[in-house]
Amino acid sequence: DIQMTQSPSSLSASVGDRVTITCRASQSIGSYLNWYQQKPGKAPKLLIYTASILQSGVPSRFSGSGSGTDFTLTISSLQAEDFATYYCQQSYSTPHTFGGGTKVEIK
């Protein structure tokens, strides 16, 4: 199985901050990398697929980059509604494993 490692596991930030979350795959996955946001008590929501393509309806302050083994999710200016847990997931080969998650909290 491909292992997905996210860092940090949690972070504290303020509204307006630029936030970067990284995800590393244990082997090359090309651009088959997706990012999800999950708020407490809710189902996850797709933010970015194929490493850098913004899902319809997702604010442009979210962006993704990377290929191969190293990927980044960036929130350019953190908003109050962005406090949540973020997960990466590889869809290169089954099982399509998730990272452990990054909890973004209010500073």
Partner 1 sequence: EVQLVQSGAEVKKPGESLRISCQGSGYSFTNSWITWVRQMPGKGLEWMGRIDPRDSHVDYSPSFQGHVTFSVDTSINTAFLQWSSLEASDTAIYYCARQRSLDFWGQGTLVVVSS
User: Where along the sequence are the contacts to partner 1 (CB under 8 A)?
Assistant: 1, 34, 36, 38, 43-46, 49-50, 55, 87, 89, 91, 94-101
Nearer to partner 1, 17 or 92 (CB): 92
Shortest Å, Cβ 58 to partner 1: 11
Query: Rounded to the nearest 10 degrees, how much is the dihedral formed by the CA atoms of 9, 12, 13, 19?
Result: -10
Shortest Å, Cβ 31 to partner 1: 11
Shortest Å, Cβ 15 to partner 1: 26
Nearer to partner 1, 36 or 78 (CB): 36
Sequence-distant (≥ 6) Cβ neighbours of residue 78 within 8 angstroms: 13, 14, 15, 16, 17, 18, 19, 104
